[in-house]
Structures are given as C-alpha cells and as structure tokens.
Structure 1
Amino acid sequence: MAKKKKPTAGQNELSPEDAGREFGISLKELETLMQTRGHEGVKELNETYGGLSGLAQKLKTHLIHGLSGKDADLSIRLAAFGRNEIPPKPPKTFLRLMMDALQDVTLVILIICACISFALSFYHPGGDTFEAEVKPKEANVEWIEGAAIIIAVIVVVLVTAFNDWTKERQFRGLQSKIELDQKFNVIRENSVRQIPIKDIVVGDICQIKYGDLLPADGVVVQSNDLKVDESSLTGESDLIKKHESRDPFLLSGTHIMEGSGKMLVLAVGEHSQTGMIFKLLGATKEEEVTTDKKPSESKNQNNEIADADAKERLIKSGSAKGMTIAIMTVLVLLIRFSIEEFIQRGERWNNKYWSRFVRYLITGITVLVVAVPEGLPLAVTISLAYAVKKMMHDNNLVRHLDACETMGNATAICSDKTGTLTTNRMTVVQIYIGEKHWKNVENPNKAKEIVVPAKTKEIVFEGIAVNSSYSSKLLPPPEREVLAKQVGNKTECGLLGFVGVLGGSYDEIRTRYPEERFVHVYTFNSVRKNMSTVIRRPDSVVRMHTKGASEIVLKKCKTILNRNGDVIPFSNVDYDRLVQTIIEPMACDGLRTICVAYRDFTPDALPDWDDETNCVDQLTCICICGIEDPVRAEVPDAIAKCRNAGITVRMVTGDNVNTARSIALKCGIISPNDSFLVLEGKEFNRRIRSKPDGEVDQALFDKVWPHLRVLARSSPQDKYVLVRGIIASKINPTREVVAVTGDGTNDGPALKKADVGFAMGIQGTDVAKEASDIILVDDNFNSIVKAVMWGRNVYDSIAKFLQFQLTVNVVAVFCAFIGACIVKESPLRAVQMLWVNLIMDTLASLALATEVPTEELLTRLPYGRTRPLISRTMMKNILGHAIYQLGVMLFILFAGPTVFDMDDGRPVDSVFKPSEHFTMIFNVFVLMTLFNEINCRKIHGEQNVFRGIFTNPIFYGIWVVTFVVQIVLVQYGSVAFSCVALTFEQWMWCLFFGVTVLLWNQIVNLIPVTHHMPKWGAGEVYEPNSPVDLGPEGQSRQGASLTKGQILWLRGITRLQTQ
C-alpha cells in the first residue's frame, strides 16, 4: 500500500472536531446524506442544504473552478473528512510466518522424534554394559544427531519464513505500484489536474467519463448522458441514469458505463459507502490484494482447476509412493533388528532399544520429507515473483500471478488495433470537403491549398471543438520533441490538430460553449459508433453536431455542403458514389474514416431529445476525414515471432473492414496470398449462429475460427463470443489458450473470459483494467510478446525444478530403502538427508527458477491447455539419471571398501559410527546432485547444458556456495553430519562420479523418446458446465482422502496457482 504522507502543520494544529467546524456540514451529515440517497436524498439535498450550490458553499468549494489546491485547505479537509484510502492489513510478523511454515505435519513429527532421540541419548539404564562402556566417545556424541536434526528443521523453517516474508513484501510493492498508477482528473484552481486517487478530498470536483471506476462518493454537478452500473453495491443489474436533478448520487466502486460529467466529492475512504461495507464486514484493516483472485471470480477457472488437478495427481502419486517406501523402510529396519536381537541372539527387551527405534522412525520420516516434493510451491512462487518483477521493466504490470504462467501456454492472441498494433498517434492526412478530395493535408503547406468558404470552416471548427470530450486536448510538445502532446481520446486529438492546421482555435470555441451549457449529449459507444452534442448558438439556433464512423453517419445525411458552402440534397446514389470513390480508397490506405455532420433546429420546434433515432437523422454532411494511425515499427517483427512460436494473432477492431485489412497486411497478420478470413461483425455472426434461435452453434463456429484472422466492425459482444468459442473448441487436441487485449468498458466480459486478459495502461478504462490480468503500461503489442517469453520461462523453470527434484527424490528414497534392507541402516543419515532436502528445495528453487528468458523460447510451439506437467523427455531424464546415481551409490556401498581401500562402514554392532565409507557415499550423492542441477537447466534434450549459464548469476552463485558448504560439512562437520574428513584422492573420486553425470546426460539424450514412456501430471480438462466441488482454498474434493500434511501442501500450491 502507498505510504501515508507526513501530517502538515495544519494537521498538527487541528483535531478532526476543530477541522469539522471550519465547514457548514459535518462528516456525519454527509454520511447520512449518502446513505439516504434516492428521492428522499434529493429532497434533503434541496431543502436542507440548498441544493448543489448551497452544498458547495458549506464545503467551501466552487462547482466550476473546484478547490484552491492550497496545502492548508487540503490539510483541513483531510483532518475533517479523512483520507481516501482504506488502511491496509498489517503484514504478518516473522514469528507468524515461522508458525505457518511449521504447519507441515511431517516436520512437526520429525522435531518430536528428534527431541526424543536427544533425550534418550542421555538415558542409560542402570547396570547396562552397552556401548557407553566400550565406546564412550561415540556414546557421548549420540545427542549430536538429535540436536542436528532440530537445527536443520529450524533452518528449513527460517528459510521458508524468510521466503514468505520476501514474497509478501514483493506483493505489497506490486499493490503499491498499482495504487500509485491509479489517477483521476480533478478540477483545482479552474484547471484540470491528474492526481493519485488517494489524494482526492471532500469538496473536490472530479471529471468523470465512460469507463471510470468511481474513487469516492459524491453528487453529479453536470452530466452528459451519464449512466452508471451500481450492481457491485446495490445489486441493481440495469444501468442507472444520473442527472443533477434526478438521482444525482454517485457511489464509490461503481462504474461509469456511458456518458461523462462532473462530480462533487462528499465522502472518501472509510466514510464512503464502500468503506462502510468494509467496516461492517470487519475488513477495514484487510488489504484488497489484487494479486489474489477468488476461484469464483476467475474467468479461467476451468483452466486453473485442471492445472491444480494435474499438480494434485503428481503430488498424490509422489506422496503415496514416498509414504509407502518410508513405512517399508521403518518396518524392514524394525523387523530385521528384532529378528537379529530377539530371535538369533536371544536378547531380552532392554530400555536401551528405545533410542534405536526412535532413530529408525526418524529415518522413515526423513525419507518421507525427502520424498514429498514440498519445494514445488516455493519454486512456483519464486519463479512467478521473479518474473513479475522483471516484467515490470518490460511494461507488463501483472495483477494476477497465475496469468504469468498461463501466458506461456497461449496459442491465440486476439488483439485490438488502435494503440496496440498502431502508434495511437492520430493525424488527419486526407479530407473530403466542399466536393473535393484533398490528400497529404497533415503538411501545413499542403493544408493551405484547401479552399473552402469561411462559413464551412466555421462549422467544421465548431463541430470538432464542441462535439468531443473536453478532456481531449493538445499540449505543447514535450522537451526535445516536435509534435504536440495528445491528451485524451486520440481520434479527437487528431481532429483537433487538423483544426489548428487550418488556422482555427478549438480553445476559443470551447470557451464560448462550456460543457454545462450543452443542451444534450449523445456520447459515443460501441453500439452508436457516433457522438452528438447539441448546443444553443448566439443566434438562438439549436445546432446538433455529429461525428462518427463514416458509413453510419453518412447514411443519416440527407444533405451535404457543396464547394460554395451551400446545402444541397444528398441521395442514396450520392452515398454509394462517396463510399466507392472516397471512403473505400481511404480505408484501403489504412485510414480511419470519420464523417462530420450537423443539424439545425428552430427554438420553437425542439424535438424530444430522448428520441435519439429521430433526432440524430436528417443530417447535413460537412466533411469526411481520413485519419492515419501508423503501425508501430516493432509490431511486424513481434507478430512474426508469434507465428514462429506457434501463436495465432487475430485482429479484432471496430474499424472499417478495408482499413482493418490494410493494417493487418502491414502488420503481417495476413499476407496478400493468404486464404484466411477477414470478416465484419455481421457476417461473422451470420456464419456462427443457428437460424432457428440465433444462438451460437459451436459446430458452425469451429468451421470459422481456425481461418479467421481479422474481425472488423465488431462489437465487444463479438469479441466475447470469439474468445469464448475458441476456448470451448475441441478441434485442437491440446485445446486453445487464449489471450485478449481490451481498453473499453464493454471489453470487460471478454477480458474476464479469456485465459489472460491484457488491458491498455494508457487508453484503457478503469473497468477494463479491473477485469484484466495484466496491464500493458505502454499499450504496445511487443510487450505481449515479452509476456509470452516470461510465461514460457516460468513454465520451463518449474519443469526444470521438477526434473531436478524428482531425480533427487527417487535416488534418496530408494538408497535409504535398499540400505535399510541390506545393511540395517540408511547409508544417508537423517541430518544428511535434511541437508540434501535443503539443497533440492530452497536452494535449487532459487537457482532454477530465476533463469532469464531468451529468444529461443519463441522458436517452439506452445504447450496448450492439456500438456502434462512432466513430459516424456523429462521422464526419460529423471529415470536415466536416477539409474546412474543409484548404480554409483550401490557400487560404493558394496564394492567401495575394496576398490578404494577403506574400512567397511557397514555397522557390525549396534553403533553406527561415522566412516570414510559412508561419508564418501554422502559426498558422491551431493556432488552428483549438484552436477545434475546443471543438466536440469535444459529440459528439451539440448546438448549444451552450459549455454547461458553465466547470464544467471543467482544460479552459479548458489551452485558455488553449495559446493563450498559441502566441502566444509565433509571436512569439518564430522560430529554434526556424521562425516569423516576425506583424503584428496577420495575427493577426486567423488568429483569424478559427479562430473560423469554431465557425460551421462549426453548418453541419455541419445535415447529416443517413445510414446510408451509414461508421462505424469496430465490433468483432466473440466467442461465449462461440469460441477466442480471446491474446498475453502480452491482445492478439489478429490484430495479429501489425503493426509493432513498433504492437504496443507495442496492448499499451498493451489493458493499459489490462484495468485
């Protein structure tokens, strides 16, 4: 969360009560007014507070000029009415994080057993002449093992807690970044300023527009066709029309779905309606973590369930096998010991045997700890957190962590055109006006050649200046730039720029016609595809200015201005001629065509403005503008990379089909000789819907979408249908994973439905951003390609870790079991296996999960939706290296004393003392594990495992540190780690077996991968309508039969996957 500002002098001097007396209305009265709302609220506003003007006086603000913006005034308002933020939940303490890490039941049991072992090491039954008398040195250090296990567990807990603490800090930093990026337009000192939402105070005048998420409670001061979605607070599904005199109350957290206007802020933060709900829920201290997504709200819920189920299958399989071998290990040890002691030797029970039984139990539990891949959640978390942090530098602000990994499996991208594939720098380059077509008019010298009557120019200037959002404007060029800075709607900015080129001033016109004096406004939306503004001119004529998609507006025109500025009839034949000779050629040049028109009404014959169909008709065409929005220079290369990566890019736009086709050709989405489809929205719907009921027929849809590359003149509903249909399609065995971009409020459903939704950071509305998973800070398609690289890198990093960890699991578990069966003890002591566990969990997850993505990731096909967690190649690598490592360890176990000329370390009595023999087994195992960690950097059978190794300092840093620590443990950790210092020759043999792992990997790579080879973790794909019973953390009920420790593990990984 954002840090609070230090209180200013004004805040120090005034208490909330004193500050409240500075105003004519109290905080409690404002809260009551907002709670009353409705008809009663309007009545109270007018009768008690004197309407909007009276309320503004009491709050010491101006309805047009806004607040003064002085620090003293803002400080008093903060003290009296509060800050516009909900206090965050305090972070978990480190002690709490340690307690959370100790929720693993196996670790708790291990600690208990270690404590028992520690206590029993000091207990020697009276009159017992056992080892203590014969071997006092060994007996005196028996307590070391129990203590070492406790210390090792503490280290594991500390490391886990530290990682969780680091993760929480990163998530809070991400949340803070998201909040700081949220800004809103307010009017202060009669000028529009963009300030952080948390800095909005009571009394501010906010500019509100289509797509905004309201940051505070307030009342409408001025409205233009304003409609609000209040379903999130009131449950009302219909859009609510807001007006100064009819239902003027606006609630924080609701969405502006149509229109624009201004709002007087009355309540902020905890005192707003949203804040009060949080208080009622007891959640005012709860952080609204946008990095979490509840399963019920997740638009790719089915994908997540399938993914979680795949991991659940893998975990259940590994855990069950580990549990079985752990139990068998303990049973074999107990049975063998009992047979030798009580049957062969005829010994009677002695309390000294308790320590032996506890040690066997510790061995079994340690085998279980090593067998269960509990490091996977840590690897997932580290990989995602690392990727999210780095993606910020690539202009990807990740809101939902699961989207990062999902993006790596994307097979299709449905992209907007404007601003994503193009520069979003709009310029009028052609114009049809006064019965003549002018080109290259962006050049001021060329524009001077345009000859039109003064009255025509006046109407053009007025129509463009007035009939556009007043937040759209041109600012002086930034430093070291030539072109003016475009602020607001870029299409409107292009038109405003053309007014300047022709010698006009839109500012002067807007000053003559302030927004509050508009008669009526029909705002632009995806259905109208045009905008109209009605004004009253000084000559009392009421004029309606209209602009919009040329084909649509031109159809409403019955007259047109000729070269003399006179109004002449405009017939259907004239319409067809203009479409063929002006609009289509402009569109084929990749230009967006906008028609500007108007209509005059006499003051005594004004229509019913609510009858839009009759009002926006009988228009007079003024001109048709061809607006250029150049393709971004880097986009063709980015789309080529997507094609090489097996990702299909589709353009979904509201533009003319010829414009869309031209841009698609320039981008490389289609080629001149392609047979791919370029459809308009109407034709698209005709092809995919069944005739009787008009519903989408999936069979018909499946005939269209594989060939579709451009969808033009489309609505947000068309985009939603396209995304939903591709996701539901089963014609591709691996199923499609769909990413979609959106910037408008109505894009919300498509963004939510997509597996990954990208919202535009610059042009995107608040509603679109809230519905998205990732925000493109620069609105650039190239950033999506970078997100694909990072997503594939995350997926591969997790796969690398799994390949590494499962190899270690198999070797350690079977080595312990075989040792128990043959030599009565595991060759690896409990504390040694905990060290191996630490290597393969925490350190390996850090090393393998922080690889930097390369362009090579874009040279392979995507995995798709149903790809197994462990591929056949990975399974070949796991089994191949496990066989080699087990063979080496068994060779040293049985033939080591003879081959290497050392004493046999296998116990011949009840004391298992450290030996060169078993130390060498431990050392060889660790070194083979370390060198195999290098092999595991590659999961697709690459020959050069060292390629790119020095681009990841975390990897080679951890590898070197681990190697050094291993040397120290072996040479100087004899007591704690049951080791004996090895000679130089023995170290060379250990290194030989370790380095040979690299050579063995080349042999394994030569083994062909067959379809008979097993693959693990292929999750079932749930149908959209299939009921899935989810637990409180989102895990499937199929895991209900698991042990408590396994369920905790599953909850952890499921939680991480839904973050």
Structure 2
Amino acid sequence: MAKKKKSTAVYYHVSADEAGREFGISLLQLKTLMETRGQEGIRELNETYGGIDGLGQRLKTNLITGLSNDETDLAIRITAFGRNEIPRKSPKTFLRLVFDALKDRTLVILIILGIISLTSSIYHPSKKTYETKIKQKRINVEWIEGAIIIVAVLIVVLVIAFNNWLRERQFYDSQSKIELDQKFNVIRDNIIQQIPIKDIVVGDICQIKSGDLLPVDGIVVQSNELKVDESSLTGETDLIRKHESRDPFLLTGTQIMEGSGSMLVLAVGEHSQTGMIFKLLGTTTEESSGKNMNFENKNQIHLCHELHNHDGTELQEFISDNTNQVNNENNLDHFKVLEHSILQAKLRKLACQIKYAGIAIAILTIFVLLVRSLIEIFAQGHEWSYKYWSGVLRYVITFIIIYVFVVPKCLLLIVTQSLEYAVKKIMKDNIILRHLDACETMGYVTSICCDKTGVLTTNRMTVVQVYVGEKHWKNVANSVKTEKMTIPVNTKEIIVEGISVNTSYSSKLLLPSEKEILSKHIGNKTECGLLDFVSVLDGNYDEIRTYYPEDRFIHIYPFNSIRKNMSTIIRRSNSTIRMYTKGASEIVLKKCKTILNQNGDIVPFSSVDYDRRIIV
C-alpha cells in the first residue's frame, strides 16, 4: 500500500507531455478525431487507429471490464487528457463589485453634488460680506450636509457590493454542490458504478440508456437500437441512429432518446466539443463590448433586452428558439416573447407614473425656490454674492434629492421578495412552484377543479396486480397477499428470466442505507419496479444478467411510442432462441397464440380469450 501511494504522488507532479507518453494516442489526436467525425472520421478510426479495439488498446482500456480504480492510473489520465470540468470564470472581487455599484447614474450624481456641496461649504471667497463679518465667530456647519450625502452613498454602495459578493459565493457553492450530485454510470473493475460526472476520465467505459444527457465525448462500443438527439449542437431535430460501424461518435450535451449501450470516453471537459464551444464563446464575450451571455445545458442562448413601449412600462425577454435557428437564421420571428405577469405590468406602469409626478414636483420646487431667490435679490436691491450662488447650489441638490426619493426603484424588488417569501412558505407544505408569479395567479383563483393526473409521487414504481396462471392477483405489493400467491415453478422461472433480461441493464436496485428501509432504484423506475417483483418471487436478476451479458444478445427492440413494447432476443444454454417481450397488455396479448395455464402447461389462446382478458 505504501508503494502505491508513493507512485500516485509522483504521477500527480508529472507534466502533461510526460503523462501523454504513457498512451498510444495524444490529446490532440483525440480532439482531431472527434472534430472529423462522419465517414471521414470512421475511415480515420479504422485505418489509423485500428478501429474501436485498436483505440481501446492505445488508451489501455478493457472494453468489457473498463478501467481499474487504481488512483495512479486515473491521476495519469487526468494529467494527460484533463479533468471533466469546464473552468469557470473566477468570481468578481469585492472591489470590482464596489466599482460596478458606483456605475449607477443616480449615485454618481449624488456623489458629485455631495463633493460640490462639501467644497462650497469649506471654501469662501476672500472678499467678506457684511453678514460674514457679523457671523464670523459662529462654527461652520455647512459641510455636514455634503458629508452626509457622500457617507450615505458610500454606505449604500458597500451594502450593495457586499450583498452581491455574498450571493456570488452562495451561487458558486450551490453550483459546486449540484456538480457533485450529478452522477453517471461507468464500468470499472467489471462493476457498474455511479461516480460524479467530474470524475469521469478518458478511457472510461460509460453505460448509456434512454434519457441520459451525455457529459463527455466518446465512441460507441456496444449499442442496442441507439438513437440520439443532437439538436442542441446541430439544430437538426431528427434522431440520429448510432452504431459501432455506422456513425459511432457521441458528443457532450446530446441526449439518448432510444436504446442503450456503452461508450468509450475520448474527450472530457474543455477538450470536448461542447467544452471548446463554451471556451470560444467565453473568449468572444470577454473581447466584445462586455455583454454577459448565459448558456443553459442545451446551449440555448438567452438574449435579454430592456424595451419600453409607448408608456415606458413594459420589460420583455427575447429567447431564441434553437429548433428553428438553422432554418430561420435571418428571420426574427423565431424569437419568443415572454411577457411579465399582470401585477408586474401594473406596478411598472404605476412606478412610471410616480416617476413623472416626482420629476414634476421637483421641477416645481426648484422653480419656486429660484423665483423667491430672484425676488429677494432684485426686488430688495441686494447684490449678487457668493451667498446666493451657494443657495442656488442647495436648490439643485434639493431637486436631485426629491427625484431620488420619489422614484420607486425598489417597488418591483419588494413585490418579488414578497412572492419569494410566499413560495418559501408554500414549500414547507411540500408544494413546488416552477414560476414565482404562480402565487400571484393563485390569488385570482376562486375555484379549483382537478383530477388524479399530476399527483406528486415518491418517484417509485411497484407491481400491484399480476395475471398469471389464469389467476388475477391483486394488491401483490402487500407481503401477506404475496405469500398466498401460487405460481408454477416453470412459469416463475420464465417470469424471472424475462424481467431480468428484457430490462435495461443500467436499471438496478441498490441496498438501502442505514436510514432507509426500501431499496434504492437506479435507472428506469418502471423497470426497477419489475426488478422488485423479481425479488418478491425469490429471484436474483444479477445472476441471470451475469449469465446473459448484453454483448451476447442476438437483438434488442427498444420500447417506443409506435411499437409500445420492448423485446429482447437471447440464445439460451440449450441453443434455443427465445424472445422476451414486455409492453402494453393489449399489444402483447394480440401477439399471443398460446398461454401458460395454472399448471404451467401451454394451452391455446383465442380471440375470445383475448376479449375476456382485456375486460378483466
């Protein structure tokens, strides 16, 4: 053990070039291969690298058992090919946030006026007036007004900067936690393991199934009717069929829509195709005019513009539709408009009206003060002096202060915080709201009509009824009912073998933890419910799957909305070929000509029996 730890420490400090020499293919070659793809990529894969098997040998990967959990080997691969994470931009420093807060136009105006007021209160012209001679012994307190303005603005700036700094730290912490929670199935030491996505390395063998969003680039090693949605990268909505010999390349960010299989990881993190796109876009954003662009998991670009209608009260967001982006590059109709809620629109209109009223009041105030000052100067025969210039300056400051305090900038923020508080209280009742304005919408509701659709569940499926041996067993989830259920031995063997084989091998049950009672479902929840039923029948799906590995299957017909069933064809130990099918009962029964009776014997199954079984 000591030697192993020593070698691990040594490899952690080797350079990327030295670590790359441990393998028969470089990082640049893998990136070039993934960029080529298509028929040219397949030709290069076969001619240059000796196909998938040759690529596995160059990466020192067993295509069946996967990598080992040796820390030294994993550390070398991370050093040579990178870690599966895209480097994030470092968070803004506190000083940068202070500078950003000072960009507010109103605060800048207040600071300038505060400095002018402070300067004018301290500075006096050399020529003394009669009043200053009389009041020269009084303490000068005129500077307090300007100082208070500057201090107040600085406090506001520091509070805003600290709040933003705290939120950024919370965002990065929560993002790191989410990344740790995201896991993927890989094969290591011939065991299927769930590991964090960032721990996947080049050379890993990943198990993929319908619904998976690929976190790495790779190549198909084994596939069963595999179809992938690549619209997030190409814009094409048609599903792409993937196979070892035809278009085997899989890209990060694409989604498995049908089938299952396994893939060999060739590129991770910033070296994957999506990683390079993110890196390029990040560089472009920094070099441009400084506009920040946020990209979701499927690379949807959200362009938010603040637009004002004739009343200056509407704020709208424009979101590009990726599905039409290719065909509508020069058409602005593919932008979807998301309007604000009714309350937000009304509040914006109210805020705009208050702003105009505030400006009118401020203008009227300064007009009255200036008129009074002019009357005092010219009507009473006073000379224009420094005293009156400082008075005009105070009038301008008064105008700005009235404008700042009258404009309700925080009105919408207060409403948003109120809705957020309402959402938190609703969450305590185990109710989740997707949209914040749902609280506002529910305030207009007087009657609620609902049915059983959409009821919140524990995301756990269980077999509750079984028709087997010409008997209909109900409430089989109850252990007492299960013990009374009698099934012929040969029928039970067929059921156990059929469920074990004719389900995705990525679906499995894990032993419950100390705080849990029920087993943990991994993969498709319906298939996990069937695997639970295998355990009820005292079967062991792991043993059957070990005896019938996926690479020995003759063929798999995956489930889809048209076929409404899934079938798996295997060759049994006695050289017979058997096809197991599961799916909608009316679809499966239509294909049946015989059925097993209560003794496990094969008996004919007619259309009359079909109608009677469907009614039951």
* TM-score of the superposed pair, with normalisation by structure 2: 0.84
Aligned partners of 1:559 and 1:125: how far apart in 2? 113
- Matched to 1:194, the amino acid is Q
Unaligned 5+ segments in structure 2 are 1-6, 287-291, 304-316, 322-335
**Given the alignment of the two structures, is residue 562 of structure 1 paired with residue 597 of structure 2, yes or no?**
yes
- Name the structure 2 match of 1:1036: none
- Matched to 1:494, the amino acid is G
Residues 326 and 364, structure 1, Cα contact 8 Å, conserved in 2: yes
**Given the alignment of the two structures, is residue 215 of structure 1 paired with residue 215 of structure 2, yes or no?**
yes
User: Which residue, out of 272, 275, 296, partners 2:318?
Assistant: 296
Change (3 A) 1:139 1:106: farther
Shift of 1:234: 1.8
Residues 223 and 260, structure 1, Cα contact 8 Å, conserved in 2: yes
Worse overlay, 61-70 or 365-374:
61-70
- Name the structure 2 match of 1:494: 529
Worse overlay, 273-282 or 449-458:
449-458
- Name the structure 1 match of 2:150: 150
Percent identity over the alignment is 63
Equivalent residues in 2 for 1:50-69, closer than 5 Å:
50-69=50-69
Shift of 1:444: 6.0
- Name the structure 1 match of 2:111: 111
- Matched to 1:409, the amino acid is T
- Name the structure 1 match of 2:348: 312
- Matched to 2:319, the amino acid is E
SS in 2 for 1:262: strand
- Name the structure 2 match of 1:577: 612
CA offset digits 1:111-135 (Å, max 9, x no partner): 2222222222233334432443222
Shift of 1:24: 0.8
Aligned partners of 2:347 and 2:295: how far apart in 1? 25
Aligned partners of 1:101 and 1:362: how far apart in 2? 21
- Name the structure 1 match of 2:232: 232
Aligned partners of 2:40 and 2:364: how far apart in 1? 76
- Name the structure 2 match of 1:259: 259
Residues 419 and 440, structure 2, Cα contact 8 Å, conserved in 1: no
Shift of 1:199: 1.4
Shift of 1:254: 0.9
- Name the structure 2 match of 1:619: none
Residues 253 and 274, structure 1, Cα contact 8 Å, conserved in 2: yes
- Matched to 1:200, the amino acid is I
Residues 434 and 452, structure 1, Cα contact 8 Å, conserved in 2: yes
User: Which residue, out of 339, 350, 357, partners 2:385?
Assistant: 350
Higher helix proportion (structure 1 or 2): 1
Aligned partners of 2:541 and 2:520: how far apart in 1? 15
User: Which residue, out of 504, 521, 524, partners 1:469?
Assistant: 504
- Matched to 1:363, the amino acid is T
Aligned partners of 2:486 and 2:346: how far apart in 1? 70
**Given the alignment of the two structures, is residue 13 of structure 1 paired with residue 13 of structure 2, yes or no?**
yes
Residues 341 and 437, structure 2, Cα contact 8 Å, conserved in 1: no
Residues 227 and 258, structure 2, Cα contact 8 Å, conserved in 1: yes
Aligned partners of 2:460 and 2:171: how far apart in 1? 34
Residues 107 and 369, structure 1, Cα contact 8 Å, conserved in 2: no
Shift of 1:484: 3.6
Equivalent residues in 2 for 1:503-582, closer than 5 Å:
503-581=538-616
Residues 132 and 140, structure 1, Cα contact 8 Å, conserved in 2: no
CA offset digits 1:675-733 (Å, max 9, x no partner): xxxxxxxxxxxxxxxxxxxxxxxxxxxxxxxxxxxxxxxxxxxxxxxxxxxxxxxxxxx
User: Which residue, out of 365, 371, 375, partners 1:339?
Assistant: 375
- Name the structure 1 match of 2:314: none
SS in 2 for 1:186: strand
CA offset digits 1:997-1040 (Å, max 9, x no partner): xxxxxxxxxxxxxxxxxxxxxxxxxxxxxxxxxxxxxxxxxxxx
- Matched to 1:79, the amino acid is T
Shift of 1:384: 7.5
- Matched to 1:13, the amino acid is H
Aligned partners of 2:22 and 2:535: how far apart in 1? 46
Change (3 A) 1:462 1:361: same
- Name the structure 1 match of 2:436: 404
* TM-score of the superposed pair, with normalisation by structure 1: 0.50
- Matched to 1:333, the amino acid is L
- Matched to 2:405, the amino acid is V
Residues 12 and 75, structure 2, Cα contact 8 Å, conserved in 1: no
Equivalent residues in 2 for 1:902-913, closer than 5 Å:
none
Aligned partners of 1:406 and 1:79: how far apart in 2? 48
Aligned partners of 1:380 and 1:200: how far apart in 2? 44
**Given the alignment of the two structures, is residue 326 of structure 1 paired with residue 358 of structure 2, yes or no?**
no
Shift of 1:436: 2.2
Shift of 1:307: 6.3
Aligned partners of 1:409 and 1:114: how far apart in 2? 45
Equivalent residues in 2 for 1:73-88, closer than 5 Å:
73-88=73-88
Q: Which has the higher contact order (CA 8 A, sep 6+)?
A: 1
- Matched to 1:96, the amino acid is R
Aligned partners of 2:371 and 2:584: how far apart in 1? 85
Residues 10 and 76, structure 1, Cα contact 8 Å, conserved in 2: no
Residues 175 and 290, structure 1, Cα contact 8 Å, conserved in 2: no
Residues 570 and 578, structure 2, Cα contact 8 Å, conserved in 1: yes
Shift of 1:240: 0.2
- Name the structure 1 match of 2:325: none
Residues 220 and 263, structure 1, Cα contact 8 Å, conserved in 2: yes
- Name the structure 1 match of 2:197: 197
- Matched to 1:297, the amino acid is I
- Matched to 1:162, the amino acid is F
Aligned partners of 1:516 and 1:408: how far apart in 2? 55
Unaligned 5+ segments in structure 1 are 1-6, 582-1059
Change (3 A) 1:317 1:290: farther
Aligned partners of 1:249 and 1:414: how far apart in 2? 46
Residues 377 and 384, structure 2, Cα contact 8 Å, conserved in 1: no
- Matched to 1:479, the amino acid is E
SS in 2 for 1:256: strand
- Matched to 1:63, the amino acid is L
- Matched to 1:296, the amino acid is F
Change (3 A) 1:313 1:482: closer
Aligned partners of 1:427 and 1:28: how far apart in 2? 49
Aligned partners of 1:170 and 1:416: how far apart in 2? 38
Aligned partners of 1:198 and 1:319: how far apart in 2? 50
- Matched to 1:469, the amino acid is S
- Name the structure 2 match of 1:369: 404
Aligned partners of 1:504 and 1:141: how far apart in 2? 91
Shift of 1:213: 1.1
RMSD, aligned α-carbons: 3.2
Residues 422 and 439, structure 2, Cα contact 8 Å, conserved in 1: no
Change (3 A) 1:558 1:414: farther
Residues 501 and 568, structure 2, Cα contact 8 Å, conserved in 1: yes
Shift of 1:317: 1.3
Change (3 A) 1:149 1:481: closer
- Name the structure 2 match of 1:678: none
- Matched to 1:234, the amino acid is T
SS in 2 for 1:374: coil
Aligned partners of 1:391 and 1:12: how far apart in 2? 49
- Matched to 1:173, the amino acid is D
Change (3 A) 1:375 1:550: same
**Given the alignment of the two structures, is residue 38 of structure 1 paired with residue 38 of structure 2, yes or no?**
yes
Aligned partners of 1:109 and 1:477: how far apart in 2? 63
CA offset digits 1:9-64 (Å, max 9, x no partner): 24542111111111111000000000011111111111211111111111111112
Change (3 A) 1:526 1:267: same
Shift of 1:393: 8.3
SS in 2 for 1:496: helix
Aligned partners of 1:315 and 1:50: how far apart in 2? 69
**Given the alignment of the two structures, is residue 72 of structure 1 paired with residue 104 of structure 2, yes or no?**
no
Shift of 1:525: 3.5
- Name the structure 2 match of 1:1003: none
CA offset digits 1:209-251 (Å, max 9, x no partner): 1111110100011111111111111222211000111100000
Residues 214 and 255, structure 1, Cα contact 8 Å, conserved in 2: yes
Residues 124 and 352, structure 1, Cα contact 8 Å, conserved in 2: no
Shift of 1:445: 6.6
Aligned partners of 1:70 and 1:287: how far apart in 2? 40
Corresponding pairs, count: 570
